[in-house]
A = this chain, B = another copy of it.
Amino acid sequence: MIRVQQEDFDIGAEIARLRAGRTDIGAIVSFTGSVRDQSGEVTDMTLEHYPGMTEAELQRIEAEAQARWPLQASLIVHRFGALMPGDNIVLVVTASEHRDAAFDAAKFLMDYLKTGAPFWKRETGPGGARWVEASAHDEASAARWTKTEARC
């Protein structure tokens, strides 16, 4: 399941909803990304996105993870709008019988989301506002999943 929203999310409640009434899940991995103040360099942040394409991309990425790993459930929640240091940005949750699938799928979802989901961060600090630059490391992290060897 995917959601794109302005409001905050509750990690514990999201995980509880995902596993409610189930006794077949052995492993749940959650990833939460949040705004870092970067030693005072960031006072606030605005996340712009491309409504419609964002949802389509997140659904595509989630379907890809479901096809690659035996997931029992998965969730992506991504926020947009005005955020402060410490605020949540993104939540990814994966559930599987075994931990490797849950870990790998969560990592994959984050790597792909970082390079594919149409979000743009604009940070404000003491020196003014600036659009965050994309990271070459993120491109490399996403590329590692396209190798035949599946991981790393």
Contact = CB atoms under 8 A, between A and B. Distances in A.
Interface string A28-42: 111111111111000
A103 B85 CA distance: 21
A35 B29 CA distance: 15
A137 to B, nearest CB: 8
A99 B15 contact: no
Interface string A80-120: 00000110000000000101101100110010000000000
B30 A30 contact: yes
Contact of A85 (B16, B23, B32, B141): B23
Interface stretch (A6-14, A51-59, A60-68, A123-131): A6-14
A152 interface: yes
Please tell me how many copies of the chain the complex holds. Answer: 2
Contact of A29 (B26, B30, B38, B100): B30
Nearest to A20: B86
A14 B13 CA distance: 13
Interface of A: 10-13, 15-16, 19, 22-39, 85-86, 97, 99-100, 102-103, 106-107, 110, 141, 151-152
Nearest first, the 4 A-B pairs at minimum CB distance are A12-B12, A23-B85, A23-B86, A152-B152
